């Protein structure tokens, strides 16, 4: 829902509009609806279709409470005709955000309820249908000098992959970002990284090196992965191993085929025979 999408409608409709076009610039930010557009009796509607199989959905949006909102005035969100969210829109000195409406606090000092409050919301509901219709409306009791507007509407489905924090909206088995201590590779999150990869910030990586042949005329790029005999690692150096290939033992972050003197081996690692006092 960028500025161009807002100006072109992006599938949204308004019933009970007071004027066109259906977008409004509030303090340099474009919103759908706005002053002289969406007020008493107005409703913004959008239907999302083609949702993949799911059991719940999260609706996120940025909402503007514009100009005169009184304590009895509420904002509402309906999903398929069922009320799923409501909030009082009255603004106080501590909760107003900006001043971009028809009435300005510079003209009416101290009248914070005529300012604009811009708030981000997220609402989660149980849902399994392949489409969902959202309606934003209000209990406003005035027309052009009390209004509301929207931006950044997003529909998110829960991940069907336990390691993801955010999934691909088109395929909830594919990760976009990972949970803490997991690392991204392809469309999956790993902990630890797969064999021959190492964790680099938030990704499972291979280090890319530039190699130049002795005659200095040919060169190529080579993917350097974990050092020989390392299965997992934190870097491509031989002393950055975290686990070893079969037949090797991890000793001080290096993979060795025989444990050094004064150590003993378990199935996978070398340990000192001495206990520090």
Q: What is the pLDDT of residues 101-149, one digit of tens each?
A: 888 888 888 887 778 888 999 898 999 999 999 999 999 988 668 999 9
* pLDDT for res 83: 96
Counted domains in the chain: 2
- Alpha-carbon distance of 76 to 2, in angstroms, equals 23
Distance, CA of 24 to chain centre: 26
- Cα(159)–Cα(163) distance, integer angstroms: 9
pLDDT computed for residue 70 by the predictor: 85
DSSP-assigned beta bridge partners for residue 200: 203
pLDDT score for 103: 83
pLDDT value of position 230: 84
Q: According to the model, what pLDDT value does residue 14 have?
A: 95
Indicate whether 215 pLDDT > 80.
no
Strand-strand pairing, 254-256 and 249-251: antiparallel
Task: Supply the pLDDT for residue 223.
Answer: 53
Tell me the average pLDDT across 201-217.
62
Residue 34 has pLDDT above 80, yes or no: yes
137 within a domain of the structure (yes/no): yes
**pLDDT winner (highest mean) among 10-19, 79-88, 202-211:** 79-88
208 in the same domain as 127 = no
DSSP state of 193: P
Domain presence at residue 23:
yes
Q: Are residues 216 and 121 in the same domain?
A: no
Assigned domain for 9 exists: yes
In degrees, rounded to 5, the angle at the alpha carbon of residue 30 between the alpha carbons of residues 105 and 106 is 10
Question: Which pair of tokens denotes residue 134?
Answer: 């959202």
Question: In terms of domains, do 201 and 117 share one?
Answer: no
Range of the domain at 60: 3-156
What does the alpha-carbon distance between residue 53 and residue 157 come to, in Å, rounded to a whole number?
Answer: 9
Per-residue model confidence as pLDDT tens digits over 236-277: 788 888 888 888 999 999 999 889 888 888 889 998 876 554
What is the share, in percent, of the chain residues with pLDDT greater than 70? 87
| Confidence (pLDDT) at 212 | 46
CA distance 12 to 22: 10
- The domain boundary, picked from 108, 139, 156, lies at 156
CB of 1 closer than 8 Å to CB of 63 = no
Statement to judge: residues 118 and 221 lie in one domain: no
Same domain for 209 and 146: no
d(CA 97, CA 67): 12
Task: Round to whole Å and give the CA distance between 134 and 187.
Answer: 30
With cut-offs at 50, 70 and 90, classify the pLDDT of residue 192.
Answer: confident
Residue 163 lies in a domain: no
Alpha-carbon distance of 146 to 229, in angstroms, equals 69
């Amino acid at each position: 829902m960028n500025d161009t999408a807002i100006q072109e409608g992006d599938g949204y409709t308004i019933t009970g509009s007071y004027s066109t076009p259906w977008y409004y610039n509030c303090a340099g930010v474009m919103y759908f609806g706005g002053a002289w557009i969406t007020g008493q009796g107005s409703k913004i509607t959008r239907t999302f279709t083609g949702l993949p199989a799911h059991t719940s959905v999260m609706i996120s949006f940025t909402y503007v409470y514009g100009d005169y909102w009184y304590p009895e005035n509420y904002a509402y969100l309906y999903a398929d005709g069922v009320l799923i969210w409501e909030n009082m829109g009255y603004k106080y000195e501590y909760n107003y955000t900006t001043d971009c409406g028809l009435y300005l606090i510079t003209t009416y000092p101290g009248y914070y309820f005529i300012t604009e409050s811009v708030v981000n919301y997220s609402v989660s509901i149980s849902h399994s249908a392949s489409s969902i219709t959202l309606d934003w409306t209000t209990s406003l009791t005035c027309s052009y000098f009390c209004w509301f507007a929207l931006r950044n509407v997003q529909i998110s489905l829960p991940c069907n992959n336990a390691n993801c924090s955010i999934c691909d909206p088109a395929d909830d088995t594919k990760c976009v970002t990972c949970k803490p201590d997991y690392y991204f590779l392809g469309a999956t999150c790993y902990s630890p990284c797969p064999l021959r990869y190492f964790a680099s910030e938030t990704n499972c990586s291979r280090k890319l090196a530039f190699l130049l042949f002795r005659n200095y005329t040919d060169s190529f790029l080579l993917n350097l992965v974990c050092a020989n005999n390392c299965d997992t690692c934190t870097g491509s150096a031989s002393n950055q191993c975290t686990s070893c290939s079969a037949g090797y033992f991890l000793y001080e972050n290096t993979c060795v085929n025989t444990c050094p003197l004064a150590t003993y081996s378990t199935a996978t690692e070398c340990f000192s025979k001495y206990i520090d006092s």
